[in-house]
């Protein structure tokens, strides 16, 4: 499984009351679980900056990650950006292997 980091920014005009945000979250999660049962959610954070949220999840391939992104865009009325990521220790091993 590959780890993906998804940045999400809610569209201007999206209802932002606590109740609406929680309902939006429930709807999006339900849809992702139904359509992408092999995705494993790792963590979610509300952040300050250009994005409203940062989520980390594992998916078997980029097509599945793109499906997650498309679902969040649809249900969350949001813009998303998805990055594949590897753990720092794996990256260091990869970088060391370039010198061999």
Q: Is pLDDT at 4 greater than 80 in this prediction? A: yes
CA dihedral 57, 62, 65, 71 (to 10 degrees): 180
N residues, the chain: 100
pLDDT 10s digits, 28-75? 889 999 999 999 999 999 999 999 999 999 999 999 999 999 999 987
Q: Any residues with CB less than 8 A from the CB of 28 and at least 6 apart, and which?
A: 71, 72, 75, 76
The structural architecture, per CATH, of the domain 2-97 is 2-Layer Sandwich (3.30)
Q: How many CB atoms lie within 10 A of CB 76?
A: 21
Give the pLDDT confidence score for residue 91 in this predicted structure.
94
pLDDT 10s digits, 19-32? 888 888 888 889 99
Give the pLDDT confidence score for residue 100 in this predicted structure.
65
pTM of the model: 0.87
Is the Cβ–Cβ distance between 15 and 22 less than 8 Å?
Answer: no
Q: Where do the domains of the chain lie?
A: 2-97
Counting Cα atoms < 13 Å in the Cβ hemisphere of 7 gives 9
Q: Name the pLDDT band for 96 (thresholds 50, 70, 90).
A: very high
Q: Which of 1, 20, 19, 4 is nearest to 55 (CA)?
A: 4
């Amino acid at each position: 499984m590959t780890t993906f980091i998804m940045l999400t920014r809610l569209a201007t005009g999206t209802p932002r009351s606590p109740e609406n945000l929680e309902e939006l979250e429930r709807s999006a999660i339900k849809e992702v679980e139904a359509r992408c049962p092999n995705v494993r959610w790792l963590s979610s954070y509300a952040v300050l900056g250009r994005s409203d949220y940062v989520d980390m999840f594992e998916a078997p391939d980029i097509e599945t990650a793109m499906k997650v992104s498309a679902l969040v865009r649809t249900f969350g009325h949001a813009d998303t950006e998805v990055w594949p990521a590897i753990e720092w220790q794996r990256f260091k091993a990869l970088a060391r292997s370039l010198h061999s």
